[in-house]
Structure 1
Amino acid sequence: MNPTPTRRASRSPIALASLLVLGTAAQAQALLAAAPAAVSLDSVIVTGTRSLGTKASESVSPISIVSADDLLQTGQRNVIDALARLEPSFVARALGGDYANIVRSATLRGQGPNQTLVLVNGKRRHTTAFIATSGGLTSGAAAVDLDQIPVSAIERIEVLRDGAAAQYGSDAIAGVINIILKSSPTEGSLDLSQGQFHGSDINPHGLGNGRTRTLAVSKGFRLDSRGFLDLSAEVRDKLHTNQTGPELRTTTIDPYASRIIGDAAYNLGALAFNAGKPLGDGLEAYAFGTFSTRSADSYQNQRLPNKPAFAPLVAAGIYTQGFEPREITAEQNRAASAGLRGSFASDGRWDASVTTGGDRIDLGIDNTVNVDLFKDTGKSPYSASIGQFSNRQTTANVDFSKPVDLGLARPLDLAAGAEFRQERYGIKAGDFTSTYKGGTQAFVGLTDYDAGTHDRSVFGAYVDATLRPAQGLQLGAALRSEHYNDFGSATTGKLSARWDADAAWALRGTISSGYRAPNLAEQYFSSTLVTPTFTYVQLQANSAAAKLAGAQALKPEKSDNLSFGLVANPSKDWQFTADAYQIRIKNRIVLKTGISGSPAAQAIAAAGIVAQPGTSAFYANYFANGIDTTSRGLDLAAQTRSDLGTLGFVKWSLAGNFQKLRIDQADPSFSQGVRSALTDSTPKHKLVATADYSLDGFNSTLRVTHYGQTSLWAPDGLTGGAPWHQEVVKPAFILDLEAGYELSNGLRLAIGANNLTNKRPERVPLATALPNGAQLLPAFSPYGINGAFYYASASWRL
């Protein structure tokens, strides 16, 4: 990633301070007047500190700053894929399974997606209603859906790589991602982008090769003389990719007819706003929010016509060439925050706000059939409603901060606050077609057993203090207590210290504890997936049915985090940081898979699930505690610049993450696949080297990323379990290149490529691709399976 300024850095890089820090209008204006003219390592940050005006270079914890231009220069117009190219500790899985191919998530510092807290303008963001159960480290995570936040609305992203539960509450085990929205009263932009992947070398039917088109616009407006309203709108559509292997089960008219392995197709529209207005006497009002809709579809395994269960269909002239079900979704995601802030006792600050948001996703299945319904009635619809998942979260905050004079060179920065959060998770059953007896092919509808509405409330209070008792010495402490009405109380703490030996060298370190209660989705999510061979039933973790399969009531995760780092600025053109860390998690919640035999049969029967005709085996899954882990790693970042005089200048940066996770203790019943998903399915290291060259209006960016080895033990394709086979993604260099020119009228044209050399991961062992031979490439590849992505863009400043 490149935290130094780009050619189009914000004209007011810390205008956001007037929104996010608990300051008065006068204080904010003073900060703006003193600010540097570009986003850099010395930009004012609002994440990981409650001290007004703290710069990134002064932070006691490692923090990355990713600007809006950094995001756009990746060629990607969604947050997950753009951030994965810039932040070494942030890794996205190449391909999800089933509906998780539509609702994506990513990991930070090798931890689960639900162990990273996401904020927008400093306020907690709600999570998705869907939970991934497709395997790999992202499995079992109801994380924040970053793709629902339009890139056009983002001013910058601050990535805090440190345990921060004592500062922000649960989920901040791996760190915090704070997305800061644009806050200009005048600036705007219009962006057009189109790209697509290189053609597949596995399947001749490209299905559009992931062609992606984006139209985005943002514009700031003045509200009176000092207020602002920033509006953003974005529409994006993407076609399927297809990396599906030839059919191995039997000869068909087209052996490449299957389309299950590849990206989902979708259409997304998103709106965002950010507003602030001084009301006089130091009082300010602010509001911001996002709203998005997404419709998507993803292919499932091909059903061949020679299967005995389908004989009545074929005899009736239905699906005589076989069929391939298609999962479809219609989703709405929305969030809004509103608040007031002001001052008290001269230099004290307060902030009170309410944030509400939610996600609703309607699941459907198309090009399918309910075989039982057809046999019993002679007909069956070819599409059905699977049901609906919904998640809603409302949070009320009040925060106070004030410098307290203790007679030292600088006052004690003291902060305190309280938070109340209400969460609701809902499940609606599918229609009659999807739930009758064995249900529809590919996905069975959610049943009355699954359906329900579940609520909980959380109350928390914190104190936070920063003291600078001597020149160059900074000490910090935070304490937070939270009470869950379903999991009781917990208290977490954090201690931090930083010593600046001089202007060029500093040491920093933190020690903290963390706590993450099982979210409502982990407790109540359920689904039934049917392949041509097996049926996988996801049981609600705390249900009576799951207990028949051996489940126990979920317990909270507890963690501790240590970090120690070096900050070096040996000259004005050199900046370097190195931070070693350790994260220990007890009672980690993971997806327990592959439970079979009598316990699974009893549990599945108790859940009201009936076997489909032709299904050879049932497997039960549920979420469970039972694994303790320790992660150790190192984050590095270095940057400099070369002034070439009349030939322009080059900004150089190198950033990296090295990490290793070990299992300290695990219940023996967890499979080899579950264990390797934790220890091996993210790269052992990720290094990102960037050279950004500028000369007048011309700019080019060369980015080289090196991924360490990644692997996963996968079940045998014929048994659904043992023997296990190792899939490996070997170390690889990935090359990204963009070149652009900005005309005098503010129009910039650019062309580029991600993965310019069209690198693809090694193929998996054939044993894991059986029985149909579909998945030949590993879904957990950190750099994808689709090869090169070529794009062009045009953007205007408004």
Structure 2
Amino acid sequence: MKFINTASAIALGASLFTSVSPAIAEDAAAPPPPAAADEVVGEAIIVTGTRTTGMTAADSPAPIQLMDSAELERTGQPDLIQSLAQSLPSVQAQAFGGDMQAMNLQMKLRGLSPNHTLILINGKRRHGTANISIAGGPYGGSAAPDMSFIPPSAIDHIEVLQDGAAAQYGTDAIAGVINIILKDQDAGGSISGTVGQYMDEGGDTYSLSGNVGFAPIENSYFNISVQKKKKGFSFRGDFDPRVYGDNGIAQTNLAQYPDTVNQPGYPYVNRILGDPSVNQTTVMYNAGYQFGDFELYSFGSYGHKYARAYENYRTAGIIVDENGEPFYPSGFSPLEAVRETDYAVTGGFRGQIGGMGFDLASTYGDDLVHVHVENSGNSSLYRDTGFTPTEFHNGDFKASQWTNTLDLNYPLDIGLSEPVNLAGGLEWRRDTFGIVSGDPASYYGSGAQSFFGYAPENAGDHHRTNFAQYLDASLKPTPEWLIDGAVRHEHYSDFGDTTVFKLTSRYDISSAFAVRGTVSTGFRAPTLGEGFYSGISVGPNSVGGVLPANSDAAGALGFGGLQPEKSTNFSAGFVFTPTPRVSLTVDGYWIDIRNRILITGSFYGFYGQYCPSGYAGGNASSCVPYVEDTYNIYNQQAVYDAVSSALGGTIPAYVLMDVNGDRNMSGTVRIQTFANGADMTTRGVDLSLKYDMPTGFGDLHWSLTGNYNENEVDEIAGLPSALYTSSVDPAATELIDKYTVWTLENSTPKFRATLGMFWESSLFSVNLRESFYSKVSSLTTAPGGSPVAGQDITEPVKASFITDLEIGVKPVEGVTISVGANNLFNKYPTKRSYDNIRAAYLAAGSSGYATSVYPTNSPYGINGGYYYGRIKLDF
């Protein structure tokens, strides 16, 4: 591996420093600045997917989609992820997140993990969030940048590279790259205000943003944007049969706690199914100073978010004193809350030395998430002391990234139709991740209701460094044929070395038709959050949570720490431009990912109701009938020992035994962890068709974008030998459970298409989008009391058409008033099965009835239509 490192450095120096020719140096161009706002996007100079200067999107050898600031604005969304998802079929926004993920919804490209898409700002890597997702499925383990801290008013345009680009930008760009180019105007600006809400209930949205550019001194620019946005709760659940109706559970609760009817919203008290409330302020700037052939530049952002999400309603009997008197006479609805601060700053120096362009930059980003629970309590603390806080500080997540880069390029004339563009560079990066423990009251005994606090056993600080070098060469053997190759070597302080490559080619058969293709490899190191997140909690009857994948306890189970993911990408397609007004691109892709990192299913070290053979304790009649295989699944000594080790060597006795000294039938000891869980294949086709149709009343700009995408789990990794493998039903003990596998394969629409039309005159504008989403589905086990109790059933979100419309008017110069709707006809996803799921919850008086109205994997959300108005002043 040392040879590769040395060879890369020698090749870099030889190609970029020793071959400078004075004749060529006179003609070499500096690296292009971001495209100006008034350029036509289809003709804009792109800086993503190529190291060649001056290339337009129409000439790109790789598929790339562009969106300018006006297109983003016309989506009607103050949130950047939603804007991208509505316009680009290969992008899907997370509709709903449980627990902490409600505060930081993510996006996926081509159905892959958010961690597989590299986010850049002005070509520089954006730091990730500290709020790692511990869910299963495609969003599990995600720690991608929080896009909500990027105000849309700061954006000039976005370049979305839909192609593997690990060799060019970093070994996590497996699905593609989203490069956000900031505005750099040195004069003028705008102020925009938006209000909106859902048709049926909630989601009240207010957003005020401003952008202004000026020149502090000659040959400089300073462009700054500010956004203040607030969004209210929404609710899409049903009444709670635990406190309403004629079932026995409700009647008992109402008789014992009559004040329950005074709970706000009664009987719709379980309000977890809906959006959180968000109050957020963000500032972003972009600045530069040009002197001769050189430029000093800087950009950065600062944001603060206060967000709260409802958790499951708790009945009055959950928190009572030693006499049985409730702390909350009508019950309570805990709120998980975050107070998050996120900032980043980049400074750089670029220009020309002779014929060589250079760009030296340093970027630091930091994200700090304070985790709180509000309107809650600790039942153990209240019972033991007669006191409980109602608000808890559960702990903090923190993450940072410091990236330093040197990029060089040089056009070398070797007698071909155009000079060979040589590029190369170095990157050094340091990442950190940590958990800070919470208030003792948050993890005492049963812990804060709805979110157990992070105890000192979970706290820790972790870091890694990475050093990378890359080489890139782009040449044209003939005027019609472009070849671009890149190789990248990276060394991680915790994983060692890897080398990846990319080879891209495009051939213009005629001025109207070109073919293109790419083959590349990729490598993604686990995020520090995936490797070191620790969430072990101790309740009155249970010990459970997430065991750090890189811990000694996980190693004792045979996991041995996370290994990097590896990928191979293939793509091929064509570009057809029969006239300047028509363009068509079609690109197919095939992506193999090996050692995909996923969160495992649960493994049990103790499950009280599964008693050993011959058990004769005082509550033996409560045991599940003994079956050796079942007992071995739920009472694994290796898991028990690992969890005990993570807690310092002891599992509390009350989890294992009841007050009589018998086996605790309600007790459980279980863990999950992140693991290299599966090999996967993703394949599909991207299509983009654009047509500018002239009419007597102005041009109609038509667009049709489509994506066909399939994700398939090829193989699940085997269990470590320390864990028990069922000889009766091996699927019951697989490393990745069948529900996660189903979600990975079926939560992304296999076909998505969007037909758009935009028309604008001097006075009016109309923007119309019609999107089609094919069916998605989830797999669940029918509850007891269902006609198919215990059986696995699929729950679909049927194929749907969604219409978005915006109409604008310009009453005076510089003022635009717009009204619009996302999901104009208030379409909802298919409701979950009443006969097989919800009726059983209702009959049992279960909280699941209130929260299971709509499938949360709906690709267009669960809230129905959103309607808004906007006024914008340009100056």
Q: Report the TM-score, using the length of structure 1 for normalisation.
A: 0.91
CA change 1:737–1:143 in 2 (3 A) is same
Aligned twin of 2:635: 598
Task: Identify which range, 369-378 or 681-690, moves more after superposition.
Answer: 369-378
CA change 1:24–1:154 in 2 (3 A) is farther
Is 1:661–2:711 an aligned residue pair?
A: yes
Is 1:108–2:109 an aligned residue pair?
A: yes
Alpha-carbon shift at residue 292 of structure 1 (Å): 0.4
C-alpha offsets along residues 493-534 of structure 1, whole Å, 9 cap, x if unaligned? 000100001110000000000000111010111235899998
> How do 1:223-242 residues align onto structure 2 when only pairs under 5 Å count?
223-242=216-235
* Whole-angstrom CA distance in 1 between matches of 2:119 and 2:32: 29
CA change 1:371–1:83 in 2 (3 A) is same
**The one of 385, 398, 405 aligned to 1:390:** 398
Whose Rg is larger? 2
Aligned twin of 1:17: none
CA change 1:531–1:340 in 2 (3 A) is same
Equivalent residue of 1:421, what SS? strand
* Contact 1:442–1:530 (8 Å) recurs in 2: no
Alpha-carbon shift at residue 137 of structure 1 (Å): 1.4
Alpha-carbon shift at residue 713 of structure 1 (Å): 1.4
* Whole-angstrom CA distance in 2 between matches of 1:78 and 1:465: 37
Is 1:672–2:738 an aligned residue pair?
A: yes
Is 1:740–2:808 an aligned residue pair?
A: yes
* Contact 1:443–1:529 (8 Å) recurs in 2: no
Alpha-carbon shift at residue 108 of structure 1 (Å): 0.2
Amino acid in structure 2 at the alignment position of 1:680: N
Is 1:797–2:874 an aligned residue pair?
A: yes
Amino acid in structure 2 at the alignment position of 1:689: L
Alpha-carbon shift at residue 421 of structure 1 (Å): 0.1
> How do 1:331-730 residues align onto structure 2 when only pairs under 5 Å count?
331-345=340-354, 347-527=355-535, 537-547=545-555, 551-596=559-604, 597-599=634-636, 600-608=639-647, 617=668, 619-645=670-696, 647-667=697-717, 668-715=734-781, 723-730=791-798
* Whole-angstrom CA distance in 2 between matches of 1:126 and 1:782: 26
CA change 1:25–1:739 in 2 (3 A) is farther
Amino acid in structure 2 at the alignment position of 1:233: V
* Whole-angstrom CA distance in 2 between matches of 1:120 and 1:734: 31
* Contact 2:135–2:599 (8 Å) recurs in 1: no
**The one of 333, 356, 377 aligned to 1:324:** 333
Amino acid in structure 2 at the alignment position of 1:395: T
Is 1:270–2:248 an aligned residue pair?
A: no
Alpha-carbon shift at residue 97 of structure 1 (Å): 0.5
CA change 1:101–1:656 in 2 (3 A) is same
* Whole-angstrom CA distance in 2 between matches of 1:585 and 1:576: 29
* Contact 1:444–1:528 (8 Å) recurs in 2: no
C-alpha offsets along residues 295-325 of structure 1, whole Å, 9 cap, x if unaligned? 0100111112345xx4437833411222121
Equivalent residue of 2:148, what SS? helix
Alpha-carbon shift at residue 29 of structure 1 (Å): 11
Aligned twin of 1:780: 857
C-alpha offsets along residues 326-364 of structure 1, whole Å, 9 cap, x if unaligned? 10110001111001012122x210110000001100001
Aligned twin of 1:134: 135
CA change 1:398–1:318 in 2 (3 A) is same
* Whole-angstrom CA distance in 1 between matches of 2:735 and 2:600: 8
* Whole-angstrom CA distance in 2 between matches of 1:664 and 1:318: 52
Unaligned runs of 5+ in 1: 1-22, 200-205
Amino acid in structure 2 at the alignment position of 1:598: N
RMSD over aligned CA atoms reads: 2.5
C-alpha offsets along residues 189-216 of structure 1, whole Å, 9 cap, x if unaligned? 10000000121xxxxxx4xx01010000
* Whole-angstrom CA distance in 2 between matches of 1:300 and 1:86: 32
C-alpha offsets along residues 34-83 of structure 1, whole Å, 9 cap, x if unaligned? x8953322211000111110101111110000111111101101101111
* Whole-angstrom CA distance in 2 between matches of 1:192 and 1:403: 47
Higher strand residue share: 1
C-alpha offsets along residues 67-112 of structure 1, whole Å, 9 cap, x if unaligned? 1111110110110111110111000121000110011101001110
* Whole-angstrom CA distance in 2 between matches of 1:447 and 1:718: 35
Task: Identify which range, 368-377 or 593-602, moves more after superposition.
Answer: 593-602
Alpha-carbon shift at residue 547 of structure 1 (Å): 4.2
* Whole-angstrom CA distance in 2 between matches of 1:528 and 1:595: 13
* Whole-angstrom CA distance in 1 between matches of 2:59 and 2:745: 33
Equivalent residue of 1:223, what SS? coil
* Contact 2:205–2:232 (8 Å) recurs in 1: yes
* Whole-angstrom CA distance in 1 between matches of 2:552 and 2:371: 25
* Contact 2:454–2:537 (8 Å) recurs in 1: no
* Whole-angstrom CA distance in 2 between matches of 1:718 and 1:483: 52
Alpha-carbon shift at residue 408 of structure 1 (Å): 1.5
Percent identity for Structure 1 against Structure 2: 37
Amino acid in structure 2 at the alignment position of 1:507: V
* Whole-angstrom CA distance in 1 between matches of 2:750 and 2:518: 23
Aligned twin of 2:301: 290
* Whole-angstrom CA distance in 2 between matches of 1:230 and 1:31: 14
Q: How many residues align?
A: 761
CA change 1:616–1:657 in 2 (3 A) is farther
* Whole-angstrom CA distance in 1 between matches of 2:103 and 2:27: 42
Equivalent residue of 1:449, what SS? helix
* Whole-angstrom CA distance in 2 between matches of 1:313 and 1:97: 33
* Contact 1:442–1:531 (8 Å) recurs in 2: no
C-alpha offsets along residues 425-444 of structure 1, whole Å, 9 cap, x if unaligned? 11100111011133111111
Aligned twin of 2:270: 258
* Whole-angstrom CA distance in 2 between matches of 1:444 and 1:377: 19
Alpha-carbon shift at residue 445 of structure 1 (Å): 0.8
Equivalent residue of 1:527, what SS? coil
Equivalent residue of 1:69, what SS? helix
* Contact 1:129–1:361 (8 Å) recurs in 2: yes
* Contact 1:650–1:692 (8 Å) recurs in 2: yes
Task: Identify which range, 253-262 or 292-301, moves more after superposition.
Answer: 253-262
Alpha-carbon shift at residue 573 of structure 1 (Å): 1.2
CA change 1:81–1:99 in 2 (3 A) is same
CA change 1:701–1:226 in 2 (3 A) is same
* Contact 2:408–2:425 (8 Å) recurs in 1: yes
C-alpha offsets along residues 97-136 of structure 1, whole Å, 9 cap, x if unaligned? 0110011101001110001000000000000001112333
* Whole-angstrom CA distance in 2 between matches of 1:631 and 1:509: 17
Amino acid in structure 2 at the alignment position of 1:669: L
Amino acid in structure 2 at the alignment position of 1:695: S
Amino acid in structure 2 at the alignment position of 1:764: R
Aligned twin of 2:833: 765
Aligned twin of 2:628: none
Amino acid in structure 2 at the alignment position of 1:136: G
Equivalent residue of 1:538, what SS? coil
* Whole-angstrom CA distance in 1 between matches of 2:583 and 2:388: 66
* Contact 1:341–1:349 (8 Å) recurs in 2: yes
* Contact 2:376–2:449 (8 Å) recurs in 1: yes
* Contact 2:162–2:177 (8 Å) recurs in 1: yes
* Whole-angstrom CA distance in 2 between matches of 1:755 and 1:185: 37
* Contact 1:549–1:595 (8 Å) recurs in 2: no
Amino acid in structure 2 at the alignment position of 1:318: F
C-alpha offsets along residues 665-685 of structure 1, whole Å, 9 cap, x if unaligned? 113331111101211111111
* Contact 2:445–2:539 (8 Å) recurs in 1: no
* Whole-angstrom CA distance in 2 between matches of 1:507 and 1:496: 11
Aligned twin of 2:312: 301
C-alpha offsets along residues 575-606 of structure 1, whole Å, 9 cap, x if unaligned? 00000000000000011123332345544443
* Whole-angstrom CA distance in 2 between matches of 1:370 and 1:24: 73
Amino acid in structure 2 at the alignment position of 1:607: A
Alpha-carbon shift at residue 716 of structure 1 (Å): 5.1
* Whole-angstrom CA distance in 1 between matches of 2:162 and 2:766: 29
* Whole-angstrom CA distance in 1 between matches of 2:26 and 2:745: 47
